[in-house]
Amino acid sequence: MQVLRKVAMVMVAFLAFTHVAVAENKDPIIIYDTQFHPTLAKNGMVVSQEYYASEAGLEILRAGGNAVDAAVATGFALAVTHPQAGNLGGGGFMMVYLKSEDRVIALDYREMAPARAHKDMFLDEAGNVDNNRSRFSLKASGVPGTVMGLTTALATYGSMSLKDVMAPAIRLAGEGFPMTWSLYDSLGRYEKRLKADPVSGANYFKADGSRYEPGETFKQPDLAHTLSLIADKGSAGFYEGPVADKLVAAMTAGGGIIDHEDLKNYKAVERQPITGTYRGYKVATMPPPSSGGVHVVEMLNVLEGWDLKSLGHNSAAYIHRLTETMKYAYADRSKYLGDPDFYPVPVKALTSKDYAAAIRAKINLESATPSTEIGPAPDLDRESHDTTHFSVADNQGNMVASTYTLNFTYGNGKSVEGAGFLLNNEMDDFSAKPGVPNAFGLLGGEANAIEPGKRPLSSMTPTLLFKNGEPYMATGSPGGSTIITVVLQAVLNVMEFDMNVQAAITVPRIHHQWFPDRLFMEPGHSVDTRRILGKMGHNVKTDPREAFDSVLGSAQSVVRGENGLLMGAADPRRPGSHAAGY
Ligand code: DON
């Protein structure tokens, strides 16, 4: 009897063990985490789109700087080595977790509309939107915020001098760096846009008009000079004095409207972060004028009501729920989001769990609801785009996530003569006319109409995650309208599917933005899954040429493991990304 009982217990134990093993083997997490490995380090980690810029941040960490010092160094270095999106002439957002104060900071350094901007400035005589003016003229530029943002972040939360953190960027511009394959390739593709402006042509190409070959030293003396002025004088080195004079002279000569007053009045603004919860995690992300934070939290709240994990990562049932949720969020974006200094954005309502439950109740779990049953359809412009995100963690527990941009790749393509930097075309992110989509196919109205001093609505979503109260992940992405859904999936892959950071940002993503009514699925999703989704009524697109960009984002991210180990993940989607740790 005794023996029989023992045998039975062993058998039960064996069956239980095999059952668990089988269940775990079905779990896609296991496959991903053995497939993708982050870069490991214990003292500090910088992840950005470009090798020399990540290394610039690492140099500052090694010299004893904190995450903010390193982020500022990386931000200035990207302006030199990744001019597609790295910039002095653009703007962005930065999320900081400051360990010493256990505080999250959301710094808004988005561009501002100049004082002479007005609601109808991009309409022609017939009242139609003139896309050329809103994207490629000097009127397309908002007052740049990057220099104020980076210098403010350093002065308030950094520990080193501006001169020290800017030294790598000044060196990269003045002494030059070996032309990278990714910049070489990009300059080739945007040669026409850059050469349309003689100053940009001279800055990025040789005197005979040819490209610097990969490996050849590429110097930017005017940019080095501008950077040195900023290092000496702080933000006044950019918003006042010779750089400001040159910028205003370029505006006056070329029909732009930014003047000295606009530059002097520019302010970086600390705002109340958007926070949310998802299972055991806390999410802290960027508030308006970013739409990203509000909608990431809105979508997480909706999705939290389903057991997504049991559906399986990237299964048709999972993607269906994700897609339907995205449609509701982007519909809300078109109506409710804008600069909070000018328009009362209903943040609390949009990010409440009750509102999410109401959306969830409307979602049909069997078939797609056509977007036309939610709102009107625009045409989509297929311009290509660039923005860039960098994430930093140090060994003190500080974390930084910052996304900044010129809007399009190389902005409006126009450089300030003698100052070495490109100007943004961020004014196109405003809604030039209600119901007419911007370059990302995004709709907007009153909330995002052009007004002097107002900041155009953005999708940039630098985000921090907290696990058990401790800072856990810093992430964000470029990708225009797709940024919000890229960040959503990066954090869901961590919080819902327990993926390591490299897996979380590498596995295939999807995107839907309500209008146009199409579900873009990156390569890597199974044909079977796409077919099932098609049968459920989704308008599935898989050809990158039909996408908003050739890939969905580029989410440079860091996770701080519970044991303190730093894990950096460079997104493989765009060339050149690099995780640098020590
Ligand atoms: O702020 C925004 O939402 C856009 N100006 C971002 C543009 C962008 O991400 C282009 N990138 N790939």
pLDDT (tens digit per residue) in 142-166: 999 999 999 999 999 999 999 999 9
Q: Is the confidence at residue 109, as pLDDT, over 90? A: yes
Q: Which residue of 403, 460, 550 sits with most ligand 1 atoms within 8 Å of its CB, as the best mutation to test the pocket?
A: 460
* ∠ CA 274-155-480, rounded to 5°: 40
Beta strands in 24-153 (DSSP E): 39-41, 44-48, 91-98, 103-109
Ligand 1 contact, 111 CB (< 6 A): no
Shortest-distance atom of ligand 1 to CA 408? 10
Question: What would the two tokens of residue 366 be?
Answer: 């069997």
Q: How confident is the model at residue 402 (pLDDT cuts 50, 70, 90)?
A: very high
- Domain contains 496: no
Question: Are the CB atoms for 346 and 294 separated by under 8 Å?
Answer: no
Ligand 1 contact, 455 CB (< 6 A): no
Helix (H) or strand (E) holding 389: strand 388-394
- Domain contains 88: yes
Q: Which residue of 459, 484, 486 sits with most ligand 1 atoms within 8 Å of its CB, as the best mutation to test the pocket?
A: 459
**pLDDT, tens only, 320-342:** 999 999 999 999 998 889 999 99
What radius of gyration do the chain's Cα atoms show? Answer: 24
- Strand, coil or helix: 44: strand
Q: Is the confidence at residue 14, as pLDDT, over 50? A: no
Q: Which of 81, 323, 387, 388 is catalytic?
A: 387
- Domain contains 7: no
Q: Is the confidence at residue 376, as pLDDT, over 60? A: no
Left if phi > 0, otherwise alpha if psi is -120 to 50, otherwise beta: which for 469? left
CA 458 to ligand 1 center in whole angstroms: 7
For residue 564, the 8-state DSSP code is S
- Domain contains 13: no
pTM value?
0.92
Q: Is the confidence at residue 11, as pLDDT, over 90? A: no
Q: Is the confidence at residue 261, as pLDDT, over 60? A: yes
Which residue in 518, 543, 554, 534 sits closest to 380, CA to CA?
A: 518
**pLDDT, tens only, 271-281:** 999 999 999 99
Question: Are the CB atoms for 288 and 338 separated by under 8 Å?
Answer: yes
Q: How many domains does the chain have?
A: 1
- Domain contains 242: yes
- Domain contains 530: no
Alpha-carbon span 228 to 264, nearest angstrom: 19
Closest residue by Cα to atom 5, ligand 1, is 407
CA 564 to ligand 1 center in whole angstroms: 33
Q: Is the confidence at residue 373, as pLDDT, over 90? A: no
- Domain contains 79: yes
Question: Are the CB atoms for 573 and 44 separated by under 8 Å?
Answer: no
- For 87, the domain range is 40-483+557-582
Closest residue by Cα to atom 2, ligand 1, is 458
Please name every residue paired with 105 in a beta bridge, in sequence order, or none if there are none. Answer: 96
Average pLDDT for 261-272: 98
Query: Long-range contacts made by residues 395-398, C-beta under 8 angstroms, separation at least 24?
Result: 395/42, 395/43, 395/44, 395/564, 395/566, 396/66, 396/67, 396/99, 396/100, 397/97, 397/99, 397/470, 397/471, 397/560, 398/66, 398/67, 398/68, 398/96, 398/97, 398/98, 398/99, 398/471
- Strand, coil or helix: 270: strand
For residue 529, the 8-state DSSP code is H
Beta strands in 130-233 (DSSP E): 177-178, 217-218
Closest residue by Cα to atom 6, ligand 1, is 480
Q: What is the pLDDT of residue 378?
A: 32
Q: Is 387 a catalytic residue?
A: yes
CA 489 to ligand 1 center in whole angstroms: 18
Question: What would the two tokens of residue 76 be?
Answer: 């200035």
Looking at every residue in the chain, the average pLDDT score rounds to: 91
Question: What would the two tokens of residue 3 be?
Answer: 């023996």
CA 539 to ligand 1 center in whole angstroms: 24
> What is the β-pairing status of strands 519-521 and 540-541?
parallel
- Domain contains 320: yes
CA 520 to ligand 1 center in whole angstroms: 18
- Strand, coil or helix: 360: helix
Ligand 1 contact, 387 CB (< 6 A): yes
Ligand 1 contact, 402 CB (< 6 A): no
